[in-house]
Amino acid sequence: MQSVRIGDRVSFHAPGNDPKTGIVAKCNRKTVTVITVDGRQWNVAPVFLSRVIGAETDAPSGNSQVIQLPNKR
């Protein structure tokens, strides 16, 4: 079994859908919860997951949800 950790970017092919890319949110013994870029939650068997390496994502470019906080003084 391939080991994935919370926070890993993974990819899988959902039946009847396009390939999905998301981030691992939770790991159980039989399933892994993946949150996709469109905000949907999928429970996937670990054998169907593959790690995404580099810029191989379907995330829209320039649409970052990271908020820069001001520095404490």
More confident of the two residues 34 and 64? 34
Average pLDDT over residues 2-7: 82
Task: Note whether residue 68 is domain-resident.
Answer: no
Phi–psi pair at 48, nearest 5 degrees:
-90, -5
How does pLDDT run across 12-26, given as a tens digit for each residue? 998 888 899 999 999
Q: Six-digit token pair at 26?
A: 């939770």
- Cα–Cα distance between 39 and 31 in angstroms, integer? 18
Residue 44 sits in a domain whose CATH number is 2.30.30
Task: Note whether residue 61 is domain-resident.
Answer: no
- The total domain count for the chain is 1
Average pLDDT over residues 32-45: 92
Report pTM. Answer: 0.68
Q: What is the pLDDT at residue 68? A: 66
